[in-house]
Amino acid sequence: MFRTLTFAWSRCVIRAKDNSLLLQHFCYSTPPSCRLMSGASDADHEDFFRYTGGRWLWNESMQLRNRYKRFDVAELQRIAARSVGSRTCSCMIKLAEGGSNKVFRLTMDDGTTAIARIPHPNMGPPFKTTASEVATMDFVRLLMV
């Protein structure tokens, strides 16, 4: 249906099979630095748990608390490595954070990359938000055919 090409970190282009442009997105942020994972503690991962994607003009402390999500970083890395057939995760980066999710790029010891999404606790049951996202993507694919 479509293919994704990523250039540099600043431009993502999605094209249809006939090579027509469907979506072009520019991001002017600099890529985050890679965090090496061996021997890191929860304190080292605090930025992974905290919401860092923006600010609020009202009740900011409550908004930040509602989006704080502690998770087992080592277990996420283990599951990601196993899912792509690698031994270990050597690097983990928080790529983006929106109103619903934290998105991480995990790079394995053999260079394989996996993307992980951790939903914010204020979004309701994760299975419902994921089902909604899947339905939306199916609808978009249907429109692009």
Tens digit of pLDDT per residue, the chain (145 long)? Answer: 333 333 334 444 455 556 665 555 444 344 455 655 555 666 678 999 999 888 889 999 999 999 999 999 999 999 999 999 999 999 999 998 888 889 999 999 999 999 999 988 888 887 888 888 889 889 998 988 7
- HSE at residue 125, side-chain half, CA atoms within 13 A, is 4
Question: H-helix or E-strand containing 4?
Answer: strand 2-7
**Rg for the chain (alpha carbons), in Å?**
17
Tell me, rounded to whole angstroms, the distance of Cα 85 from its chain centroid. Answer: 20
* CA dist., res. 141 & res. 1, Å (int): 7
